Amino acid sequence: MKKSIIISALLTLMVVFSAIAQDGKDKFMVQVDGLGCPFCAYGLEKKFKEFKGIKNVKIDIETGDFSFSYPAEKALTLADVEKQVEKAGYTPITAKVERSNGEIEESSESEMTKKSEGTVSKNVMVAGNCAMCEARITKAAESVQGVSAVSWDKDTKIMKVSFDAGLTSLEKIEKEVAVAGHDTKNHQAHTDDYGNLPACCKYERLSYK
């Protein structure tokens, strides 16, 4: 009877360990800055679909939490994950991976946001529709003293801006873009400024709480 119980317990353990071994997936968790809407989440997920074999993708727009599983044999690094987030137009704040063998690797916020005291680069969501919007948005951002480079993508709605942090801030740049008639992640354009936009530029307005 005792032998039967022992054998049964050993078989159960073998099944459990076999399932773990067959899983063979690393679990990644990333804190992402810049996710403002379902479209943003879709853009991020679409970019990560380039990683063949990715599974269990979960994105929380409110918190910026992004997680997924990836085959351990492909040895995906945190650096590769961070670069892919940036390619999607967003900023990784922290990143962590739980390897299939139990090891844990982390990138802290301080490591990922180290910058020289001069120019810094930021990504932020800005609403718009077309090439005319792009020209208007970039012109507004470039008018702010300290801004050195600006680009806006009409598909992702992401504005990438580089500026001297000693002369200006992302908030000031967003406010100037809002004055030009375009809602940003943190600032809504005045109704009159939005109303002055050409018909083709009247995007679906963002909702602010």
For residue 86, give the CATH number of its domain.
3.30.70.100
For the stretch 69-87, pLDDT in tens is: 999 999 999 989 988 988 8
As a three-state string, the secondary structure of 78-121 is HHHHHHHHHHCCCEEEEEEEECCCCCEEEECHHHHCCCCCCEEE
For the stretch 153-200, pLDDT in tens is: 999 999 999 998 888 899 999 999 999 999 998 899 999 999 999 999
133 and 104 housed in the same domain: no
**Quick one: pLDDT at residue 72?**
93
102 and 124 housed in the same domain: no
pTM: 0.49
82 and 99 housed in the same domain: yes
**Quick one: pLDDT at residue 78?**
92
Domain that holds residue 188: 119-201
